[in-house]
Amino acid sequence: MQRGKGVGIKKTDISRPDPIMFFQVLSIFHHVTPLSLHPPSSLRSAMRRAVIGHCLIGLLWYNFLPFNYSLADTSGNPSDKVWQHTSHSMTRSDHRDSFTGMEFVFVKCGCFIMGDTFGDGYFAEGPVHQVCLDDFYIGRYEVTQGQWKAIMGNSPACPDHKDNYPVGSVSYDDVQRFIANLNQMTGQKYRLPTEAEWEYACRSGGGKERYAGFSNTNDLFRYANFCDVNCQHDWTAGDQDDGYTHAAPVGTYKPNSLGLYDMSGNVWEWVADWFGSQYYDESPINNPQGSDAGSERVIRGGCWLSGPWYPRCSYRFSFTPSSGEEDIGFRLAKEK
């Protein structure tokens, strides 16, 4: 099936019935059965108790099993929405912004070894070092073009891309203006993730993962939009096909174990830190914030134009904060 045309309901688990239909059936049973059969009052009471019990079981089922119906735009028209079936549900510890609908995954505090743990990186990815982080939230998806337009009123990305595509062509300075507007509208304290937070989340909470959720380069097309057979460059991976020549709608590929999508590939992502090629030599253990000053800000994750080496979780790149390119976007973070 050709990707990029806006698939309606994408089901990753078809073995379970629709929970909404489940409640509708229970409701019909509750209201119709006693009227049609006219059972004795004692039996009616028992039946009502059974219905209530099943509703409670259904409620637990709906909230805690690993699936969720989330609103997704597959046409680019904000009024034309469908329910998209996703593999990761919002848990009680996650956060959904009531103004924009952005989903944030709760990331538990912890320590990990940051940097080139596989030994296939370059000098700025080392030395590997221990980092410990406090709890934080990070966006499940990259910020979309539709979300950018809702806050900023314009569309800086490719006009052919619909609202469910990641926003691109935004500078670091543009992103800071977006965050200031969003925080003023919502009363929240959103921000960019630090470089350490980003890598910790990319590696599913600090695990030893080369890419976001996996390590085998041959599986890139399942998890990431990168320079594959659709990409006409010398560094193309011609034996893989992710289905897109340019950016893909957010959430198209498999997530990592935290339920985060597109942390490898699709668009580069701005993070908060100034770039320092030797920063890892002096990085503090607890909640590092990056260099005190610099000329470029860090971007992470690679993009649809990147060869397989760049979407690695440890790869560090940088860009002038006042400039933007079509393959640079971002995702947000939030304090607990």
- Alpha-helical regions (H) of the chain: 19-37, 41-64, 145-152, 172-186, 195-202, 220-223
| Rounded CA Rg of the chain | 23
Domain boundaries, the chain: 19-63, 92-335
Give the containing element (helix H, strand E) for 272.
strand 268-274
Q: For position 123, what pLDDT does the model report?
A: 96
Q: For position 3, what pLDDT does the model report?
A: 34
CA distances from 319 to 67, 83, 287, 298 (A): 37, 37, 23, 7
Task: Tell me the C-alpha distance between 95 and 187, whole Å.
Answer: 14
Task: Tell me the C-alpha distance between 225 and 323, whole Å.
Answer: 23
Peptide bond into 308 cis (omega under 30): no
Per-residue pLDDT 10s for the chain (336 aa) are: 333 333 332 333 333 344 444 434 334 434 434 433 344 555 455 545 654 554 444 444 334 333 333 333 333 333 232 223 344 567 778 999 988 999 999 999 999 999 999 999 999 999 999 999 999 999 999 999 999 999 999 888 666 678 999 999 999 999 999 999 999 999 999 999 999 999 999 999 999 999 999 999 899 889 988 888 777 766 566 677 778 888 999 999 999 999 999 999 999 999 999 999 999 999 999 999 999 999 999 999 999 888 898 999 999 999 999 999 999 999 999 988
CA distances from 156 to 21, 144, 161 (A): 40, 11, 11
Q: For position 190, what pLDDT does the model report?
A: 98
Tokens 């253990």 belong to 285
Tokens 């830190």 belong to 273
Which residue in 330, 243, 268 sits closest to 7, CA to CA? 243
Task: Tell me the C-alpha distance between 85 and 10, whole Å.
Answer: 5
Task: Tell me the C-alpha distance between 64 and 88, whole Å.
Answer: 10
Structure tokens that stand for 187 in this block:
């009363």
Helix (H, G, I), strand (E, B) or coil at 59: helix
What is the phi/psi pair of residue 89, to 5°? Answer: -90, 160
Superfamily (CATH) of domain 92-335 = paralog of FGE (formylglycine-generating enzyme) (3.90.1580.10)
Q: Give the β-pairing of 328-330 and 268-274.
A: parallel
Helix (H, G, I), strand (E, B) or coil at 25: helix
Q: Is 145 within 8 Å of 166 (Cβ atoms)?
A: yes
Contacts of 313 (CB under 8 A, 6+ apart): 199, 202, 203, 209, 210, 211, 212, 263, 264
Q: What is the pTM of this model?
A: 0.74
Task: Tell me the C-alpha distance between 141 and 138, whole Å.
Answer: 9
